[in-house]
Structure 1
Amino acid sequence: MIRWPFARTVAALLILALAGCDAVTVLRAPVSPGFYPHEAIRPSAGRAEMRDRLAAYYRDWQAAFVRPGCGDGTLRIHSPDAAYPAIAEAQGYGLVIAASMAALDAGARRLFDGILGFVLAHPSSNDADLMAAELDTGCVERDGGDSATDGDLDIAYALLLADRTWGSAGSYDYRALALRRIAAIKRSTVNRDSSLLLLGDWSTPGSPLYGTSRTSDWNPVYFRAFQAATGDPAWARIGAAHRAAADRLQRTFSPRTGLMPDFVRGTAADLAPVTGRVLETSHDGDFGFNACRTPWRLGLDALLSGDAVSTAAARRMTAWFRSVTGGDPARVGSGYTLAGTGYRAVGDNAFWAPLAVAAMADPDAQRWLDALWQRLAGTRVDPGNYFGDTLQLQVMIVVSGNYPLPA
């Protein structure tokens, strides 16, 4: 096994080469005076300070997690703490990050195209316009080579960002690729009965998990973007179904905490958290390592659209976390029942970092948001923590005011 110091050096050299010996060129582009259309608050820290801290974290994240593909000139995002070292989720995140950092990184398009090449080289075995979810160290598809919905959602949205940022006249037609993937997501990963997202293109009518959905995939910002890009009214229906589902879950199963479960099952009339282990752990019906992303996903929609359901959902979670931690992010646990009982030790940034996005939608959360930003700014990249650190980077992009606004 390659020891970390050597691996970090190799990754850093790769990034320098791709970016023309200047891995991150910070362009002092002005930030919008009111970061997002519907923000309630933003951190008290100065814009230049936040931008510089974001750029530093991004550099370290690249050095830790950007790797060569498999001898084909592509790049991939390494996921040492996932089931496999190359997963679709990680590639989707990498693409969104690269497109979001275009204003701060002169090499962002090289990074984007490198990851995109890897994505296109590994289609799902069920729907060739989606990506195989899991690949091993030799870039061989594992566990059937089928898809995971979360990865393809991020890939499709990142392609729309890329088209808006760079146009589609280069090596790849980003817009055409986005439209094909959006069509495939609708075709192969949307439940025909509930309009909720399926777990992947392997979940088909009649299969045991067909009625199961992962709440961390519920990103209303993406549904709005897909509708705008395609003109397909189905995406408005899909988006409305997910917002209604989030509202039902909070009001019915977590009215005090606002916490969302990792997985749910059912239709609009009987939607409920799953019980016991359905896909991953005995805590599949709790606020765990999937649902920890929901404050970020729903909070972002609140900031960009002002949607009443997303805003209320973000504020419910914010109010409870502020109360239970006494305003100290270091006291955020790494797993809770929907009633609010913690079941894992505190400290994982996959749980506390996403809370900063939700906090920006709450006018009463200024001290809480400032405390979260200070923790974000003071946390360093851990090369063994792909998941938490990649979530943190995306949160920092949003909270620092550098997330691309919708067209």
Structure 2
Amino acid sequence: MMRKDVQPVFVWRTLMLLCLALIVLPAGSAFAAVNKPFPQHTTYTSGSIKPNHVTQATMDNSVKTKWNAWKAAYLKPAGTGKYYVKYNSAGETVSEAHGYGMLSTVLMAGYEANAQTYFDGLYSYYTAHPSANNPYLMAWKQNSSFQNVEGDNSATDGDMDIAFSLLLAHKQWGSSGSVNYLQAAQNIINAIMEDDINQTQWTLRLGDWATSGSYNTATRPSDFMLNHLKAFRSATGDARWDNVVNKTYTIINSLYNGYSSSTGLLPDFVIYSGGAYKPAPADFLEDPNDGHYNYNSCRTPWRITTDYLLTGDNRALSQLNQLNSWIAAKAGNSPGNIKDGYKLNGTLFGSYNSGAFYAPFGVSAMTSSSNQSWLNSLWSHTASSPQEDYYEDSIKLFSMIVMSGNWWTY
């Protein structure tokens, strides 16, 4: 029997330990094991390279530092049980940013103790903002009051990253908890096929709204997330995704051979005219540089190369190799000389050394050992870079995850 004078101390210590456990273990991590914790050190395709002038541990730590800064600046609560990504000073967000938030939290799980809590909160926000065209797609923009603005329809890139992140969440935590990640992924993947894909051309639409006129056949190379598409095929068994993969690679090479054979650059937007895919004219959707390598297509070296690194699919390798040799020469082998905007023939029109531009070139440099010193320079420039804005910092984080060998797939 316990002595009466000991019992209060015992109870007090027990309560203190329980309280500490609740503080240390967030809701998500308390209920699901982390199956693929950061760092993963993925083995990429044979012949590819990583930075070799710093240790693996140093690279991992640099990614952690970038994640910590990104989380502090952009990942914010959005009411009870929800999170969103603050993409500008007005406190607005877009589905592109939301996809980035879901991708980064699932990839950083294991290092980030609250990853599943953040991810589930981001998932709850996504489900609370459906597109009017398809309830499984996400309305593309919300204001600081979390109200849909500028049309409650979707953007393909946000939809794709959300879908891919849900597949990774299934691998990371399983689907037997409060969210069935696999079922949620399959729902949005099927919705993307129905409303974000032109099933006559098998091209990626700009969004679920782009169903008429020249917009119906237009596409955006920064949406060419080929490894996402292959994961969608694997997760659903839907062979139509093979058509989209094949057509996407065909368009990359058509643009490269027809418009940028000396640079490998791809335009921000692409139209279908006269039976062929061509760079979009000025002001097609956003600004006078819609047909140039600008703030959309700056992501293509990261998006396209990632599929090569993970699967060895070399259908865009000639374009990527040309891109690598051109940018290294154009910048005089100095990442600080890379600017934010080029015409497809290589003519410079940008003026700022944006992380959204230089960091993805680090991913494309991984294709060949001939790029080793260039890759090392790009890694160092990115890892030591100061904070910019949401867009640049997101792209730098993802590029460093890939460059350090820590990207993985479904």
Q: Does TM-score exceed 0.5, indicating one fold?
A: yes
* Within-5 A mapping of 1:2-401: 20=26, 31-32=40-41, 35-38=43-46, 40-44=48-52, 45-69=54-78, 71-80=79-88, 85-204=92-211, 206-266=212-272, 269-382=275-388, 385-401=389-405
| Cα displacement (A) at 1:79 | 0.2
Distance 1:239 1:28, change over 3 A: closer
TM-score by length of 2: 0.89
Flag the 1:270–1:121 CA change in 2: closer, same or farther, 3 A: same
CA contact (8 A) 2:26 2:117 kept: no
Q: Amino acid of the residue matched to residue 119 of structure 1?
A: Y
Q: Whole-Å Cα distance in 2 between the matches of residues 89 and 18 of structure 1?
A: 31
Question: CA 1:209–1:84 in structure 2 vs 1: closer, same or farther (change >3 Å)?
Answer: farther
Letter in 2 for 1:99: V
Q: For residues 362-403 of structure 1, give each alpha carbon's deviation from its aligned partner in whole angstroms, at most 9, with x where no partner exists.
A: 221001000001011101323xx0001001111111111111
CA separation of 1:20 and 1:189: change in aligned 2, threshold 3 A: closer
The alpha carbon displacement at 1:216 in A equals 0.2
The amino acid that maps onto 1:200 is: G
Q: CA deviation at 1:37?
A: 2.7
1:193 positional shift: 2.5
Give the percent of matched residue pairs that are identical in Structure 1 and Structure 2.
34
8 Å Cα contact 2:37-2:108 kept in structure 1: no
1:217-274 Cα distance to aligned partner (Å, 9 max, x none): 0111011101111111100111000011001101110000000000001179411011
Secondary structure, in 3 states, of the residue corresponding to 2:76? strand
CA 1:28 to 1:111, structure 2 compared with 1: closer, same or farther past 3 Å? closer
SS of residue paired to 2:219: strand
Distance 1:28 1:234 in 2: 32
CA deviation digits over 1:86-129, x for unaligned, max 9? 11000101111111112322221111111111111100011111
Shift of 1:30: 6.9
Cα distance in 1, alignment partners of residues 269 and 74 from structure 2: 28
> Aligned partners of 2:379 and 2:91: how far apart in 1?
31
In structure 2, what is the Cα distance between the partners aligned to 1:19 and 1:298? 37
Indicate the RMSD between aligned Cα atoms, in angstroms. 2.2
Q: Secondary structure at the match of 1:309?
A: coil
Aligned partners of 1:161 and 1:28: how far apart in 2?
A: 12
* Runs of 4 or more above 3 Å deviation: 17-21, 27-32
Whole-Å Cα distance in 2 between the matches of residues 31 and 59 of structure 1? 18
Whether the aligned pair in 2 keeps the contact of 1:36 and 1:401 (CA below 8 Å) is yes
Separation (CA, whole Å) in 1 of partners of 2:286 and 2:112: 37
CA distance 1:323–1:106, shift in 2 (3 Å): same
Which residues of structure 1 form unaligned runs of 5+? 1-16
Whether the aligned pair in 2 keeps the contact of 1:78 and 1:85 (CA below 8 Å) is yes
Q: Structure 2: which amino acid aligns with 1:172? A: V
Structure 1 counterpart of 2:48, which letter? A
How many residues are paired up? 382
Note the C-alpha offset of 1:68: 1.1
Query: Partner of 2:216: helix, strand, or coil?
Result: coil
State whether residues 227 and 233 of structure 1, in contact with CA within 8 Å, keep that contact through their aligned partners in structure 2: yes
Contact 1:198 1:212 in 2 (8 A): yes
Question: What's the counterpart of residue 14 of structure 2?
Answer: none
1:220 and 1:298 in contact (8 A); partners too: yes
Contact (CA 8 Å) 2:214, 2:271: kept in 1 or not? no
Instruction: Judge conservation of contact 1:74–1:117 (CA < 8 Å) in 2.
Output: yes
Kindly state the Cα deviation for residue 286 of structure 1 after the two structures are TM-superposed.
0.3
Report if the CA contact (8 A) 1:88-1:131 is conserved.
yes
